[in-house]
Amino acid sequence: MDDEIKQWIHRYINAYQLVTRRIDARIRESMDVGLTSEQFQILRLIDAQPRCTSTYLAEVFCVGKSSITAIINRLAEAGVIERTRDEHDRRLVYLTITEYGRGLYETAEQKVLEVISPYLMNFDKDKIEQLIHMFERLAELMQEPGGRNE
């Protein structure tokens, strides 16, 4: 592997770790609504995915279904989400946010926006768009075998 590529990789890893750790820490500090940042991410996915299942969440988070089930159980017991069985296939269980959970989620989302926006506002709009576009492209590549579009 070329030295320049190694340097890019090291720079990426260093920046990624610093940004994600600090943002996660600041979100945790501001999250006074009773949700962890992981629970917030799960609620975000449930909100965005009609007919969301725990299998879908496990795939997105790249964890075992038992890990997601434990979090889902806690959220359900707290009245934040509810489970609904499919009318045609009782094996399928869909997750939705309750009215109570919606309030928590919206408050938490506002806190996250307040944490992240001051950092993004240090850049011009075109640079923000470029950063997000490149990160989305990287996310697309991560979903492809070998990291490349076939």
- CA dist 33 and 35 (Å) reads 6
- Reading the chain (150 residues) residue by residue, the pLDDT tens digits are 899 999 999 999 999 999 989 988 888 888 777 788 889 999 999 999 988 999 999 999 989 999 999 999 999 999 999 999 988 888 899 999 999 999 999 999 998 999 999 999 999 999 999 999 999 999 899 887 766 554
CATH T-level fold of 31-112: Arc Repressor Mutant, subunit A (1.10.10)
d(CA 105, CA 35): 8
Count, residues in the chain: 150
Residue 107: how many CB atoms within 10 A of its CB? 15
Domain ranges of the chain: 31-112
Q: Please, what is the angle between helix 37-48 and helix 3-30, to 10°?
A: 100
